[in-house]
Amino acid sequence: MGRHGAHRLLTPLKAVAVVALLIIAWLGLRDRLPGVTEITDALGAADPTWLAVALAAEVLSLAMFARQQRRLLTAFGVRLTRHRALALAYTRSAIAISLPGGSALSAAYAFRQFRVSGASRHTAATVMVLSGLLSVAALALLYLTGALAAAVIQLNQAWNQHPVLTRVTVMLALAMLSFVGLLAWRSGAALRPVRRRPARRHRVLGPVLDAVERARAVPARHWAPATGAALANWLADLLCLYAAARAFHLPLDPVTLGAVYLTVQLVRQVPLTPGGIGVIELSLLTGLVAAGAGEAPAAATVLVYRLLSCWLIIPAGFATWLGLRRSHLVGAALDDQFGRSGELGAGLGQDGVAVGPRRDVGHQQPAHPGGGGQAAGLGA
């Protein structure tokens, strides 16, 4: 079986695995789901201050998403005003979380808007790829931070109970990590000449590698703000969930709530529904209840969090889409640049695959810009 055949087989297997997990979660929760009256009572007892914090956090998350892309465009000499960047962030989010294939449509729409702002095809594609890479790196940093926090807590408990055994285990682990790192460094040095050969590049990685090469010319002063915005995007969204949980008095500490949040990010990587609607709600509710929250407060927390991070963004995003569509910057002068079939795909990679941002609660993932024709209709 070739690589493409394996990829086609792996995708439905992932979907089946996620569906199976959701069915198991549903079977475990069906007798514990709160009634409408219980949820209404929980909503009535919410702390309005924490609800305001949750709203502000989600607004900040979208603002950081806009800042991330605006900073990357600035790094390549493309000017995008703050209000237009924010409108684009809301529009892209609404497209991604409300339409079938929204990830691809959002990426294609962003490509067109970057071109409207003066970016070349290569610059627009590079910014999209780098934006996706920064978001993935920021999420990975959150996972690493969470893992280290959990490890420190467990290590502290083990140290108090078995100090000698814990000391020996830590020393052995450090020695093993040093040995593995040395082997990896030597292997990398040996394979480096091979990796530099353009003929060896996989077609799927081509746009990513090209973007990384072009990124080397970007002044270093642009990377810290862009990376900080990507990290703040995730943290603000996590803060929204935390504030919603505090509003309904969930007895969960920040570490536990962060673990639930990061687990849901893994589940949502398989796009079973637009924006993960239904999948995320059930996954979050399952995680919160399993962590010790009451059914009614947990359901109210999920309701408020998704209302702020998804459902309210859809009408707001399509309102900003109308504003962008009516903007004088979107004119017929660019029709000849986007009217030719396949230009969008060619700009994103020879195989038509690119890493494009997708934002429903902050995450971005690879997108196929095959929906470029539909996106052209959105941006016309």
Q: Does any domain span residue 135? A: yes
Number of domains composing the chain: 1
Q: Which single residue is written with the structure tokens 């924010």? A: 86
Closest CA to 296 of 250, 229, 328, 255: 250
Q: Does any domain span residue 12? A: no
Q: In the chain, where do the E strands start and end? A: 354-356, 365-367
Q: Does any domain span residue 150? A: no
Q: Does any domain span residue 264? A: yes
Please check the confidence at residue 191 and state whether its pLDDT lies above 50: no
254 Cβ partners below 8 Å, 6+ apart? 242
* b (16+ CB within 10 A) / e for 308-341: bbbeebbeebbebbeebeeeeeeeeebeeebeee
Going by pLDDT thresholds of 50, 70 and 90, the confidence category of residue 42 is confident
Domain membership of residue 306 as a residue range: 39-141+211-379
Token pair, residue 355, equals 């890493």
Going by pLDDT thresholds of 50, 70 and 90, the confidence category of residue 63 is very high
Q: Does any domain span residue 355? A: yes
| Each residue's pLDDT tens digit, 133-188 | 899 999 999 888 888 877 777 777 766 776 666 566 656 666 666 666 666 566 55
What pTM was estimated for this model as a whole?
A: 0.72
pLDDT > 70: percent of the chain: 63
| Each residue's pLDDT tens digit, 299-311 | 999 999 999 999 9
Average pLDDT over the chain, rounded to whole?
76
Going by pLDDT thresholds of 50, 70 and 90, the confidence category of residue 369 is very low
Compute the distance between CA of residue 45 and CA of residue 15 in angstroms, rounded to an integer: 38
Q: Does any domain span residue 128? A: yes
Q: Are 358 and 365 in contact (CB under 8 A)?
A: yes
| Each residue's pLDDT tens digit, 72-94 | 999 999 999 999 999 999 999 99
pLDDT top residue among 372 and 112: 112
Q: Does any domain span residue 71? A: yes
| Each residue's pLDDT tens digit, 249-300 | 999 999 899 999 998 888 777 777 777 787 888 889 989 998 999 989 999 9
Closest CA to 52 of 251, 246, 258, 288: 246
Q: Does any domain span residue 110? A: yes
Please check the confidence at residue 7 and state whether its pLDDT lies above 60: no
Helix axes 48-75, 82-98, angle to 10 degrees: 110
